[in-house]
Amino acid sequence: MNKPNNGTVTAYLGLGSNLADPVKQVRSARADCAAVPGVRELAFSSLYRSPPMGPQDQPDYVNAVMAVSTDLTAPALLRQLQCIEQAHGRVRAGERWTARTLDLDLLIYGAHRIETGELTVPHPGLGQRAFVLYPLFEIAPALVIPGLGRIADLIVNCPRDGLERIE
């Protein structure tokens, strides 16, 4: 995988939780992500509350987006994120869009487009999800998302759908 000459890539991470004190979960996950060797925090969005995707009989989510500089490959970064999820009590039951203590997504990895059995980058659905686009726009308003275009153009066509900035 090609990287810039200095060996680092700017990646964007999605953080979300709707169980076990979601604000605390997201804040703790932020610190855990920044503590991964080879990862350095560049920016962190405000926290946002959003209605759940999928089943509506679950609490609202708290979401944020984090920009990091990393020298890890995309698969290695994904594995680190999954370890952090497990440490926060994340249980992968196979069902999509269910309540969870922590959900960490690798949204964007530099200018790369990746499609493997374990990873798709940019993250599927990123261009239509207010709980990702608005926090991402907050920290990277000039971002061009590989294969999707300028975030400023995407956000114009993405209604907030109940998304609320909470801090």
Active site residue 103: yes
Active site residue 100: yes
Catalytic residue among 100, 113, 160, 161: 100
Residue 67 and residue 41 in contact, taking contact as beta carbons nearer than 8 Å: yes
Catalytic residue among 32, 49, 105, 129: 105
Catalytic residue among 103, 150, 160, 161: 103
Residue 11 and residue 104 in contact, taking contact as beta carbons nearer than 8 Å: no
The long-range contacts involving 152-161, CB below 8 angstroms and separated by at least 24 positions, are 154/127, 158/127, 158/128, 158/129, 158/130, 158/133, 158/134, 159/130, 160/130, 160/134, 161/50, 161/51, 161/130
Active site residue 153: no
Catalytic residue among 90, 113, 153, 160: 90
Active site residue 105: yes
Q: Which residues are catalytic?
A: 90, 100, 103, 105
